[in-house]
Amino acid sequence: MTFSKRLKTNLSVVAISAAVLGSIGSMPTRAADLIVAFDQSQLLRLPRPVAEVIIGNPSIADVAVQGGNLLVITGKSFGVTNIIALDAERNVIQDQRVIVDQDDRRTVALYRGALRQTYTCAPNCSPALIIGDDLRVFDTINKAAQAKRGASTPARQQSPE
């Protein structure tokens, strides 16, 4: 092979490599998994403002946009889902896998046969609403929590008749 043919071949390889690398640079990057504790939130800052957020499974995680490029991700249920953030031109800014896990550091599980009850201990132990617990106990705690939330919300103003 002559020098000029080798040079043309090498230049072709360099041009193709540059084109491939250039297109990879413009693709959205896949970030590392975001671990969110159940019933807690994590912040995710994006490189540019977001126009739309798509949640793979809204029963696992919820997202609120704060200030254009800041996402607040809240773990609603155990599991794995993803969040896709789009800009105004519907380009993908980020495709983020979210894993919602239990914060085991301050919880205690009490088993009675196959039935489980979970307590959050920080520092005193109180019953916790954890999916998978004994349904009878879960319902009792859930009703008490709903009553507490209802008592803590301001009374609705009645409209004049």
Q: In the prediction, which pLDDT does 155 show?
A: 60
Residue 94 φ/ψ region, left for φ over 0, alpha for ψ in the -120 to 50 degree band, beta for the rest: beta
Which residues are paired to 30 by β-bridges? 95
CA distance linking residue 32 with residue 127, whole number of Å: 33
Beta-strand pair 34-37/92-101: parallel
Which residues are paired to 64 by β-bridges? 72
Q: List, in order of start, the domains of the chain with CATH numbers.
A: 34-101 (2.60.40.1380), 104-149 (no CATH)
Question: Is the pLDDT at 3 greater than 90, yes or no?
Answer: no
Q: In the prediction, which pLDDT does 23 show?
A: 44
Which residues are paired to 112 by β-bridges? 115
Query: Which residues are CB-neighbours of 34 under 8 A, at least 6 positions away?
Result: 42, 44, 73, 96, 97, 98, 99
- Model pLDDT for residues 65-118, shown as the tens digit of each residue: 998 899 999 998 889 999 999 999 999 999 999 999 877 777 888 999 999 998
Q: In the prediction, which pLDDT does 25 show?
A: 42
- What are the structure tokens assigned to 32, written together? 């590392």
Q: 148: pLDDT confidence band, cut at 50, 70 and 90?
A: confident
CA distance linking residue 73 with residue 58, whole number of Å: 11
pTM for this prediction: 0.59
The CA-based angle 58-66-96, given to 5 degrees, is 45
